[in-house]
C-alpha cells in the first residue's frame, strides 16, 4: 500500500469514529430529561451554562421597595425601625436616607432632585440640633427644629392611611362588574294563568276586608212603660194565671222585651199583680192581685 493511500485510510477511520461519537453524544443528550437541563436552546436541552455567556450589567434591575416621594421614604425608615416619630434620631435616619438617595442618583437624576431637597432639609435639622443655642433663641425659633418635619410626617401618614382605606372600597370594573341581562320584549301580551283556586282565594280576601269596614248603626226608639203596664193588666184579666214566659211571647226585639219586663216589675211594686212559685225550680206564674173586700 502506498503512503498516500495509507494516510487516506487513517483519515477516513478517524472521521468515522468522530461521527459515531457525535451521534452517541446527541443520543445521550436526547435521553436526558428536561428537568435536569438548565435551559433549552433551539429545542435542545443545555446541561451546563456556556463559558462565554455575557450578561450586560443593566439587563436586570430589581426594586425591592418603591416609594411615592421623600416623605414616604422617610416615614418608611422611621416605622421600619420602630422609632418614635416625636423624637426622631436625625443622625441615623439621615445616614440611611442619603444611602437610598445615592442609589437613585445612579439611575435617575431627575427623580433624585426631589429626594435631594429633603436630604438637604434633614442635614439642616441635624446641624441645628448639633449647634449650641441659647434659651431665648430656642423660644424664638419655636423650640425643637424637628417639629415642622414631624407635623408633615403625621399629616402625610394620616392621608396615606385614608388613601389605603379608600382603595379598599370595591370599585366598578376593578373588583366587580355590573351584571347585564338580556330581556326579550314581545308585542304579544302574555296573560297569567288563573285557576278556580286563585279566584276563590281572591273572593275570600274581599269578604274578609268587607267585614273590617262594617258599620253598626244605633237607632232611637221611644217606648212607654205605662203602655206595657196596661197591656199586662189586660192580658191578666182574661186569664187567672199566666206563666211568666207567656207574658213575653210576641214582644219583638230586645228593647221591647226589656221595657215589658220593667213594666211587670212596676206592677208588682204597686201590688197590682202577684208573682208566685209553688216550689224551687217550678214554673213562675203571674196573676192579678186580690183586692180586699
Q: How do 39-41 and 44-46 pair as beta strands?
A: antiparallel
Question: What pLDDT was estimated at residue 272?
Answer: 87
Q: Among residues 124, 65, 130, which one has the least CA distance to residue 99?
A: 65
Lowest-confidence segment of 3-12, 76-85, 217-226, 270-279 by average pLDDT: 3-12
Q: Among residues 267, 254, 263, 253, which one has the least CA distance to residue 225?
A: 263
Q: Answer whether 286's CB lies under 8 Å from 247's CB.
A: yes
Average pLDDT (104-129) is: 79
Average pLDDT (53-80) is: 71
What pLDDT band is residue 162 in, cutting at 50, 70 and 90?
Answer: very high
How far apart, in Å, are the Cα atoms of 73 and each of 79, 84, 148? 10, 16, 17
Is this model's pTM higher than 0.95 or not? no
pLDDT at 210 over 70: yes
- Model pLDDT for residues 277-287, shown as the tens digit of each residue: 888 888 888 88
Please state, as a whole number, how many other Cβ atoms lie within 10 Å of the Cβ of residue 97: 20
Local structure of 250: helix, strand or coil: coil
Gap between the Cα atoms of 153 and 71, Å rounded: 7
Q: Answer whether 228's CB lies under 8 Å from 260's CB.
A: yes
Q: Which residue has the higher pLDDT, 13 or 271?
A: 271
Local structure of 156: helix, strand or coil: helix
- Model pLDDT for residues 131-151, shown as the tens digit of each residue: 776 654 544 555 678 888 888
How big is the chain by its Cα radius of gyration, in Å? 59
pLDDT at 276 over 60: yes
pLDDT at 237 over 60: yes
Amino acid at each position: 500500500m502506498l503512503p498516500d493511500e495509507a494516510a487516506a485510510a487513517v483519515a477516513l477511520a478517524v472521521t468515522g469514529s468522530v461521527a459515531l461519537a457525535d451521534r452517541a453524544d446527541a443520543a445521550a443528550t436526547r435521553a436526558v430529561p428536561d428537568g435536569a437541563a438548565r435551559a433549552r436552546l433551539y429545542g435542545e436541552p443545555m446541561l451546563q451554562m456556556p463559558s462565554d455567556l455575557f450578561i450586560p450589567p443593566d439587563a436586570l434591575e430589581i426594586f425591592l421597595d418603591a416609594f411615592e416621594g421623600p416623605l414616604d421614604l422617610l416615614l418608611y425608615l422611621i416605622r421600619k425601625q420602630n422609632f418614635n416619630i416625636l423624637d426622631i434620631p436625625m443622625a441615623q435616619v439621615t445616614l440611611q436616607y442619603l444611602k437610598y438617595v445615592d442609589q437613585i442618583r445612579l439611575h435617575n437624576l431627575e427623580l433624585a432632585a426631589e429626594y435631594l431637597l429633603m436630604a438637604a432639609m434633614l442635614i439642616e435639622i441635624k446641624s441645628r440640633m448639633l449647634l449650641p443655642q441659647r434659651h431665648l433663641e430656642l423660644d424664638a425659633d419655636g423650640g425643637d427644629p424637628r417639629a415642622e418635619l414631624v407635623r408633615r410626617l403625621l399629616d402625610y401618614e394620616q392621608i396615606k392611611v385614608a388613601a389605603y382605606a379608600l382603595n379598599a372600597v370595591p370599585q366598578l370594573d376593578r373588583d366587580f362588574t355590573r351584571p347585564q341581562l338580556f330581556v326579550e320584549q314581545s308585542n304579544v301580551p302574555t296573560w297569567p294563568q288563573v285557576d278556580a283556586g286563585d279566584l276563590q282565594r281572591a273572593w275570600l280576601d274581599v269578604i274578609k276586608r268587607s267585614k273590617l269596614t262594617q258599620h253598626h248603626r244605633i237607632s232611637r226608639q221611644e217606648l212607654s212603660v205605662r203602655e206595657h203596664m196596661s197591656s199586662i193588666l189586660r192580658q191578666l184579666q182574661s186569664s187567672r194565671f199566666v206563666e211568666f214566659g207567656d207574658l213575653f211571647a210576641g214582644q219583638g226585639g230586645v228593647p221591647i222585651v226589656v221595657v215589658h219586663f220593667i213594666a211587670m216589675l212596676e206592677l208588682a211594686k204597686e201590688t197590682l199583680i202577684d208573682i208566685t212559685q209553688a216550689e224551687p225550680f217550678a214554673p213562675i206564674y203571674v196573676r192579678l192581685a186580690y183586692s180586699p173586700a
